[in-house]
Amino acid sequence: MQSSDRIILDPKQFELTIKRLSHQLIENYGDFKDTVIIGLQPRGYFLAERIHQELMKINAKLDIKLGSLDITFYRDDFRRQETPIIPNKTEINFIIEDKKVILIDDVLFTGRTIRSGLDAMLAFGRPKTVELLVLINRRYKRHLPIQADYIGKNVHSIVSERVKVNWKNIDKEDKVILYTPE
Amino acid sequence: MSKLSTKHLLGIKYLQKEDINLIFETADHFKQVINRPIKKVPSLRDITIANLFFENSTRTKLSFELAEKRLSADVINFASSSSSVTKGETLIDTVNNILSMKVDMVVMRHPNPGAAYFLSQHVDAKIINAGDGAHEHPTQALLDGYSMREKYKDLTGKNIIIVGDITHSRVALSNIFCLQKMGANVKVCGPLTLIPKYINSLGIEVISNLKEALEWCDIAMMLRIQLERQDTKFFPSIREYTQQYGLNKELLDSLSKKITIMHPGPINRGVEITSDVADSNQSIILNQVENGVAIRMAVLYLLAGRVD
């Protein structure tokens, strides 16, 4: 970590934020009947998994289906990159036709990932409703008219800065940092 | 690695082992896509692909066309029998005319070996070789290798026999390159008149007895006799060929282990393989066809490249 790095969420705040988001979902979805959670690959799925665990902790009787969605083939910048983008795994072992979908990603920035995600999701059926949950919302940077319904934290940042979400199971510690790449 | 080392797919000879693995891994994802309720992705929506078939084809042409459509590319088709080629137009002129209609990629099958390479030197588009004479047929070898990998996970040390008309088969040559790069042991079997003289320079041994060859292998790839490429008699009669090199159920059941049977198609049932073998549970011929679409999607996706 460098001196220019700024911690947005420390491990304690991180945990509280996950709890708050989970409680907000329970408030709106109750028993989660006909509701599914889909995390966008790769890093949105970590958040989706965590939220799913937290929901089960709060109420072990809940039966909530969890899936991961890869958007690689649906991206609008495919031929604008130097090399082809290598996809991740999509695992949706349920039908989303007529289901209420909670779409989860770690950071909402330009909105293009979510746009691709919505497109990709339609290949699995027509959902009844879709809501978006993100851990970090980078404000004022949207390229498309897309907003989140559940937000962990709003961040004001400049375009050259990057937000990195670290996860306990892969990056040792739960935390969110804002940094300027060299 | 997330990029192929070549700009075109002209033959397996020009690919690295890493390229083959990248194509296989990408094909895994596309195989998942084509088994979804909606089998189409928008990846190549701004690309136009010309399928130029100067020689007959069913499987390869349909498979490429389907792969292109599943990737949302725009597709134009061309068959030489119904074109100005019969009026004496040269290959470069034909292709340049098609390219001036703003085509980004060309999938070409041609009866002359090296046609795809020649084209890649003279026109400004990505070229995919869909078979050039008796030279190479790279996507067929890739889908064969992929189907074997699907069944055996790792091909290192696996024994594979290619049986039949090796001299006139582009599938054989591409498969030899591909399987050797994947670490498998490859040998060929067939009448010596149908085995090319250069085969030893590829490090390939010949087994002339079919039973012996089948006992040695884990996977047997049966090839068709390419009568259309034979200008002279290479063996006395089809009947005699079948007796010596045809695979029937009786022979298959007499082996000490269960081997896997493959065939790139078109099958001449009753000649190189009998129906009960082709349709048996040891055959993965239809898996090969299914995997063809996924492999071709992967190749097109990885070669599509950047918008300039």
Instruction: Identify the residue whose tokens are 């909606």.
Output: B38
Chain A environment of B33 (Cβ under 8 Å): 73, 123
Domain range B138-288, CATH class: alpha beta
How big is the CA angle at B110 (ends B106 and B112), to the nearest 5 degrees?
A: 130
Q: What would the pLDDT profile of A99-155 be if each residue is shown by its tens digit?
A: 999 999 999 999 999 999 999 998 888 999 999 999 999 988 799 999 999 999 999
Alpha carbon dihedral B22, B28, B31, B35, in 10-degree steps, equals -150
Q: Which CATH number fits domain A11-23+31-73+88-156: 3.40.630.10, 3.40.50.2020, 3.40.50.2000, 3.60.20.10?
A: 3.40.50.2020
Alpha-carbon span A67 to A120, nearest angstrom: 13
* Whole-number pLDDT of residue B306: 66
Alpha-carbon span A69 to A51, nearest angstrom: 16
Chain B environment of A117 (Cβ under 8 Å): none
- 10 Å Cβ neighbour count for B21? 14
How distant is the Cα of B22 from the closest Cα of chain A, in angstroms?
9
* Whole-number pLDDT of residue A157: 85
Q: Are B138 and B12 in contact (CB under 8 A)?
A: yes
**What mean pLDDT value characterizes chain B?**
91
Is pLDDT at B124 greater than 80 in this prediction?
Answer: yes
* Whole-number pLDDT of residue A3: 57
Place A1 in a pLDDT band, splitting at 50, 70 and 90.
low
**What mean pLDDT value characterizes chain A?**
90
Residues in CB range of A30: below 8 A, 6 or more apart: none
Is pLDDT at B283 greater than 70 in this prediction?
Answer: yes
* Whole-number pLDDT of residue B79: 82
- DSSP-derived letter for residue A80 is G
Alpha-carbon span B68 to B98, nearest angstrom: 17
Determine which of B33, B39, B44 to mutate to test the interface with A (most A C-beta atoms within 10 Å): B33
Identify the CATH number of the domain defined by range B12-136+289-304. 3.40.50.1370
Instruction: Identify the residue whose tokens are 């804002």.
Output: A178
Q: Give the one of A72, A79, A90 whose C-beta lies nearest to B307's C-beta.
A: A79
Place B84 in a pLDDT band, splitting at 50, 70 and 90.
low
* Whole-number pLDDT of residue B1: 60
* Whole-number pLDDT of residue B285: 94
Which of the pair, B101 or B48, is modelled with greater confidence?
Answer: B48
B215, B219, B189, B187: which is closest to B203 by C-alpha? Answer: B187
Q: What stretches of A43-139 adopt beta strand conformation (E)?
A: 65-69, 100-108, 129-138
Determine which of B4, B43, B69, B302 to mutate to test the interface with A (most A C-beta atoms within 10 Å): B43
Residues in CB range of B264: below 8 A, 6 or more apart: B137, B140, B144, B171, B221, B223, B288
Q: What would the pLDDT profile of A30-73 be if each residue is shown by its tens digit?
A: 888 999 999 998 899 999 999 999 999 998 888 899 999 999 88
Alpha-carbon span A131 to A138, nearest angstrom: 18
Q: What would the pLDDT profile of A43-54 be if each residue is shown by its tens digit?
A: 999 999 999 999
Domain definitions of chain A by residue range:
11-23+31-73+88-156
Q: Give the one of B3, B43, B46 whose C-beta lies nearest to A83's C-beta.
A: B3
Q: What is the mean pLDDT of residues A21-38?
A: 93
Boundaries of CATH 3.40.50.1370 in chain B? 12-136+289-304, 138-288
Task: Name the A residues in 108-137 with CB < 8 Å from any B CB.
Answer: 119, 122-125
Token duo for residue B49:
């692909």
Establish whether this prediction's ipTM goes over 0.85.
no
Q: Are B259 and B217 in contact (CB under 8 A)?
A: yes
Report the greatest alpha carbon distance in chain B. Answer: 59
Burial class (CB in 10 A: 0-12, 13-18, 19+), B114: middle
Q: Are B204 and B186 in contact (CB under 8 A)?
A: yes
